[in-house]
């Protein structure tokens, strides 16, 4: 009977943990902690990827007001995306994507085809980008295309109630609760 050397066993365990993490088994729980900037906003939305080749794990937004800034990435949890500490300015959602052990996909958002993903945040607040359903085509020949079609579900209220669970700092709990109260009217 041959035994694997201990070093080889440790390497195998590390590789397996890496694969589990990359496939989503080791995802980090989002936390809305102490604000990092004074006038930051909460920006959120939802994309239903049920009909897509895979679920998205990240969404990217770039500043049009300050193009020298790098892209901003959002927490993604069960189809909803959200980010805090977004500075005032004009932004464009540029792409989203995900991967699994078999593929890595990036979906680019075109301004011409998806103009609703250019937004301006003028002051500190809670900004709902919308809920969308992924619709794609799978051509035999040619380019794979998609569109994000507006959806009524989940609602802004439903998403805020889910995000509230991650709000560890009073500042974010207060902003979310204020918006929820406005939505009751």
Q: How far apart are the C-alpha atoms of 5 and 58, rounded to whole Å? A: 39
pTM attached to this predicted model: 0.79
Q: How far apart are the C-alpha atoms of 160 and 179, rounded to whole Å? A: 8
Query: Considering only CA atoms, which of 115, 69, 111, 117 is closest in space to residue 93?
Result: 117
- Residue 142 CB coordination number (10 Å): 7
Long-range CB contacts for residues 98-105, cutoff 8 Å, separation at least 24: 98/54, 98/55, 98/56, 98/57, 98/58, 99/22, 99/54, 99/57, 100/23, 100/24, 100/54, 101/19, 101/22, 101/23, 103/53, 103/54, 105/53, 105/54
pLDDT digit string (tens) for 85-138?
Answer: 999 999 999 999 888 777 788 888 876 767 888 999 999 999 999 999 999 877
pLDDT for 177 = 97
Q: Assign 18 a pLDDT band (cuts: 50, 70, 90).
A: very low
């Amino acid at each position: 009977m041959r035994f694997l050397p201990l070093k080889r066993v440790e390497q195998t365990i590390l590789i397996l943990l890496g694969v589990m993490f990359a496939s989503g088994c080791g995802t980090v729980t989002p936390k809305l902690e102490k604000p990092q900037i004074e006038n930051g906003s909460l920006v959120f939305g939802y994309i239903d990827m049920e009909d897509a080749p895979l679920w998205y794990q990240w969404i990217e937004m770039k500043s049009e007001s300050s193009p020298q800034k790098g892209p901003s990435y959002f927490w993604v949890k069960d189809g909803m995306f959200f980010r805090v500490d977004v500075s005032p300015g004009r932004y464009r959602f540029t792409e989203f994507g995900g991967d699994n052990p078999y593929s890595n996909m990036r979906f680019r958002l075109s301004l011409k085809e998806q103009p609703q993903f250019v937004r301006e945040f003028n002051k500190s607040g809670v900004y709902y980008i919308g809920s969308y359903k992924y619709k794609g085509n799978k051509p035999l020949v040619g380019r794979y295309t998609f569109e994000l079609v507006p959806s009524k579900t989940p609602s802004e209220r439903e998403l805020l109630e889910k995000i509230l669970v991650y709000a560890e700092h009073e500042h974010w709990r207060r902003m979310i609760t204020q918006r929820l109260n406005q939505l009751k009217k």
